[in-house]
Amino acid sequence: MADNGNVRKVYEILEKQLNQPLKTALEVCARCGICAEACHYYVSEPKVEHVPAYRAEQVRKIYRKKYNFFGKYIPSLVNAEELDEQKFNELVEMAFSECTLCRRCTFNCPLGVDTPLVMRVVRAMATASGKAPEILVMLADSAIAKGENPEIFKEMFIQQVSELEKELKELTGNPNAKIPVEKEGARVLYVGLAGAHTIIPPAIIFNEVGEDWTLSIYEAANYGVFLGDVERAKKIAKRIIDEAKRLKVQEVIVAECGHACNALVWEAPNWFAEKFPFRVRSIVELVAEYIQSGKLKVNPEANSEPVTYHDSCNLARAGGILKEPRLILQAVVKDFREMTPNGLENYCCGGGGGLVALPEYYEKRMRAGKPKAEQIRKTKAKIVAAACENCKLQLNDLNNYYNLGVEVKGLVDLVANAILYNRQKISANENQQANVST
Amino acid sequence: MTEQMKVDLVLDLKGLLCPLPIVKLSQAIKDLPVGAIIEGIATDPGVMADVPAWAKASGQELISIEQRDKEYRFLIKKVK
């Protein structure tokens, strides 16, 4: 790579993002290889390119060339390398298709080396130099366009919500069930994803507990995060933060979406250097609270088939949301079976880091999802629950690819099913009593 | 819609959830010449918000978008 604009941009990004955690990740590695077995890519296909330490080392080489004294003058002494076009293309391919940013390697590394942080920087470099996957850029830019021009979709969105509200009333048998939009002063702003499946089940739950809520006109997904592009990610998050401030809500509740939760709950306060005047949580945490406080009464008989739970890497490893999904499942499922390993040690499904949106990597992500497929098969569960949209899309693909014979559902789907089951039972009892009295 | 305008490609997006309708649309439009028209048929109401935003961000022309029963149909003209 001649010293053209791209090289300059790559090093500019590296310089800009070179904070202490990144420096540590680029300086520290014991070369013990423990991270190999921690990576679902390596477990599925054991080759050196799939060892997280190997991936990070490819970036360390170019880092040393610029930031290490010997790297600058006697590069062979410290394994430093000049960046060229081919190497950069390989780095980009690796960062977008051979690392899902799941951080299982970091948790298993004796030194806590954050290889996904290094991969994020490569993603940022790729985005800055126009080499990031076009689809991720386009999805991020579409979300930004919504924030800049809400008039292009708002009327249609509100019309769609009124259709969904009719469906909600039919499903619940409650003529007063509502999906409020832009309700100022509501306690909760719920941020769904594009699609009815992320609106109806939470709406059933909110109406059941009598929550004072309103639906965001935006979707929680943040493709800026997958691009490693903080500027885009901030613009996408800002739409929701501004909406929450405008409506003066007390809580923003994020749909079942791992990276969106990560972005809004943990990253956004740092991006904006601000303590928001509202709390931000995952819907998983809120629903667990409803159940724990007795506000939501559910019947595990509603979901009688064996269910296993896939921990989203963003919720579990990044967010520590481990107990809440299990509390929900114990309440709404008759036969809950853990997969092994689970929780912090759970394997990534292989679809994280934006991979499910990149059709060109379908075969790669199916291979990377093999450990997950085997975990699921061993449980003999009929339903796989997950609280992340990316995971659900990937699990559905794995189900078809590996003939697992399972159904993939969200936690909120199971909770909503348990609510509807209770309602049907109550209604059947009332009919029976009415028949007896006549 | 199709009766009034010559459609070059009909994209069946039924059953696909976000972000796949937009992913498929982006992929499909790449292979078409400028001036070509795509008709998309989806079942996820998310497209009613996502397709106009995608058209705005990508600089393509959204000719129309409407709901017909449980389906959402849109026409996109490739302008660049």
Q: What is the dihedral of CA B29, A158, A285, A417, to 10 degrees?
A: -90
* Preceding amide of B19 cis, omega within 30: yes
Residue A103 has which token pair?
Answer: 């951080």
Q: How many CB atoms lie within 10 A of CB A314?
A: 30
Q: In this structure, are residues A392 and A408 in contact, taking their beta carbons and an 8 Å threshold?
A: yes
A55 DSSP 8-state letter: H
Rounded distance, CA A221 to CA B15, Å?
19
Q: Are strands B71-77 and B37-42 parallel, antiparallel or unpaired?
A: antiparallel
Rounded distance, CA A338 to CA A326, Å?
9
User: Which percentage of chain A shows pLDDT scores above 90?
Assistant: 91
Q: What value does the mean pLDDT take over residues A358-363?
A: 95
Top pLDDT among A381 and A430 is at A381
pLDDT, position A427 = 78
Q: Which fold has domain B9-77?
A: Translation Initiation Factor IF3 (3.30.110)
Rounded distance, CA A118 to CA A309, Å?
29
Rounded distance, CA A60 to CA A136, Å?
26
The answer, yes or no, to whether residue A286 has pLDDT greater than 60, is yes
**What is the amino acid identity at position A137?**
V
Rounded distance, CA A260 to CA A354, Å?
11
Rounded distance, CA B72 to CA A89, Å?
39
The answer, yes or no, to whether residue A97 has pLDDT greater than 50, is yes
- Taking only the tens place, the pLDDT of each residue in A32-47 is 999 999 999 999 999 9
- Taking only the tens place, the pLDDT of each residue in A256-283 is 999 999 999 999 999 999 999 999 999 9
Residues of chain B that touch chain A, judged by Cβ-Cβ distance less than 8 Å = 17-20, 22-23, 26-27, 44-50, 52-54, 56-58, 65, 67
Q: What value does the mean pLDDT take over residues A377-396?
A: 97
pTM for this prediction: 0.94
- Taking only the tens place, the pLDDT of each residue in A109-161 is 999 999 999 999 999 999 999 999 999 999 999 999 999 999 989 998 999 99
Q: How many CB atoms lie within 10 A of CB A344?
A: 15
The answer, yes or no, to whether residue A340 has pLDDT greater than 60, is yes
Set out the domains of chain A in order of their start, with CATH numbers. 5-131 (1.10.1060), 135-291 (3.40.50), 298-420 (3.40.50)
- Taking only the tens place, the pLDDT of each residue in A70-96 is 999 999 999 999 999 899 999 999 999
**A194 and B18: CB-CB below 8 Å?**
yes
Mutate to test the interface with B, among A134, A135, A138 (most CBs of B within 10 A): A138
Q: Which helix (H) or strand (E) holds A253?
A: strand A251-254
Rounded distance, CA A33 to CA A47, Å?
12
- Taking only the tens place, the pLDDT of each residue in A287-330 is 999 999 999 999 999 999 999 999 999 999 999 999 999 999 99
Q: CA-CA distances (angstroms) from residue A354 to A131, A135, A149?
A: 15, 10, 25
pLDDT, position B2 = 47
The answer, yes or no, to whether residue A3 has pLDDT greater than 60, is no
The answer, yes or no, to whether residue A222 has pLDDT greater than 90, is yes
Angle at the Cα of A317 from the Cα atoms of A243 and A107, rounded to 5 degrees:
145
Quote the minimal CA–CA distance from A146 to chain B in Å.
6
From chain A, the residues in CB contact with B29 under 8 A are none
Place of tokens 């991979």: A355
Rounded distance, CA A279 to CA A165, Å?
26
The answer, yes or no, to whether residue A2 has pLDDT greater than 60, is no
pLDDT, position A5 = 73
Phi, psi torsion values for B9, nearest 5 degrees: -150, 130
Quote the minimal CA–CA distance from B51 to chain A in Å.
9
Coil, helix or strand at residue A85: helix
Residue A312 has which token pair?
Answer: 């989203």
Residue A146: closest CA among chain B residues belongs to which residue? B53
**What is the amino acid identity at position A292?**
Q
B18 is catalytic: yes
Q: Based on C-alpha coordinates, what's the Rg of chain B?
A: 11
Rounded distance, CA A390 to CA A373, Å?
15
**B22 and A163: CB-CB below 8 Å?**
no
Rounded distance, CA A28 to CA A117, Å?
13
Mean pLDDT of all residues belonging to chain A:
95
Sheet of A383-386, strand order: A333-337, A303-310, A383-386, A407-410
Quote the minimal CA–CA distance from A389 to chain B in Å.
9
Q: What value does the mean pLDDT take over residues A241-252?
A: 98
Rounded distance, CA A219 to CA A122, Å?
26
Residue A156: closest CA among chain B residues belongs to which residue? B48
Please provide the DSSP assignment of A340-374 as one string: SS-GGGPPP-S-TTTGGG-GGGHHHHHHHTHHHHH
Residue A96 has which token pair?
Answer: 């977008």
pLDDT, position A44 = 97
Read off the pLDDT band of B3 (50, 70, 90): low
Give the ipTM. 0.85
Residue A220: closest CA among chain B residues belongs to which residue? B18
pLDDT, position A341 = 97
Sheet of B71-77, strand order: B9-13, B37-42, B71-77, B61-68
Angle at the Cα of A17 from the Cα atoms of A15 and A23, rounded to 5 degrees:
85
pLDDT, position A438 = 67
Place of tokens 């899309």: A393
Angle at the Cα of A152 from the Cα atoms of A151 and A153, rounded to 5 degrees:
90
* Preceding amide of A202 cis, omega within 30: no
**B54 and A393: CB-CB below 8 Å?**
no
Counted residue by residue, chain A has a size of: 438
The answer, yes or no, to whether residue A371 has pLDDT greater than 90, is yes
Counted residue by residue, chain B has a size of: 80
Q: CA-CA distances (angstroms) from residue B59 to A129, A157, B1, B6, B7?
A: 21, 21, 22, 21, 19
From chain A, the residues in CB contact with B58 under 8 A are 138, 141-142
Q: What value does the mean pLDDT take over residues B15-43?
A: 93
Q: Annotated catalytic residue: which of B10, B17, B18, B23?
A: B18
